[in-house]
Structure 1
Amino acid sequence: MRKRMIDELHTTMRGLHAAGAIDKQTLRDFELRALPPPSYTAEAIRALRERLHVSQGVFAAYLNASVSTVQKWENGEKKPSGAALRLLSLIDRKGLEVLA
């Protein structure tokens, strides 16, 4: 239920942005505060990469991370945070083509 409400709110905010009622920065601020990205386990990161049919190197390039960082995420040695976590969430929802 909560996810559905957040999704509806996000859709409304994007609509307001498209209509010119709010600017891009306001939309970004909303997304940063109201839509925190989910956390990703090592298994979820590997499953996402494999679902997209890309190597660790290609995945790392899209995330602006090193291959060793992706390897550490997938091995559970490190957890993504900040921009990488947001990019993972975006890629998970929209696919790699959203970053191309």
Structure 2
Amino acid sequence: MTKRYKSTALAALHESMQDLHDIGVVDQRTMRKFDESCLVPVAEFAPDEIIETRNRAGVSQAVFAHYLNVSVGSVSKWERGEKHPSGPALKLLDLVRRKGLEALA
């Protein structure tokens, strides 16, 4: 997955800082601050948006869960609003919403 930046200038700055981090000049805490400043945050999903994304893909909860590498129960709870996706699952949901389920296949 490619990173999405707020601007091209911030992309250049972030990539330079990432290079410095890779060689050990910049610590992890500083890198996290740069991530927050430069990267576009992944939007949260409302339950109806998750249902719409899954329905647009034309798959069941079980198949959708398989592609996202989560349990069927998690997808069910997200769609009922009992829990909210986070971390890698949230990023994958965003990718599926933008590019379709084929992006994960």
> What is the root-mean-square deviation of aligned Cα atoms in Å?
2.7
Q: Which residue of the partner structure matches residue 46 of structure 1?
A: 51
TM-score after normalising by structure 2: 0.66
1:80 aligned residue (78, 85, 88)? 85
Report sequence identity in percent.
Answer: 48
Structure 1, unaligned runs of 5 or more: 17-21
Q: Which residue of 2 aligns with 1:19?
A: none
Deviations 1:23-46 (A, max 9, x none): xx87xx8xx640211100011100
Q: CA deviation at 1:89?
A: 0.4
Is the aligned partner of 1:35 residue 2:73?
no
**Structure 1 runs of 4+ with >3 Å offset:** none
- Residue segments in structure 2 that go unaligned for 5+ positions in a row: 20-30
Give the TM-score, by structure 1 length.
Answer: 0.69
Structure number with larger C-alpha Rg: 2
Q: Is residue 2:99 matched to residue 1:94?
A: yes
Aligned residues: 82
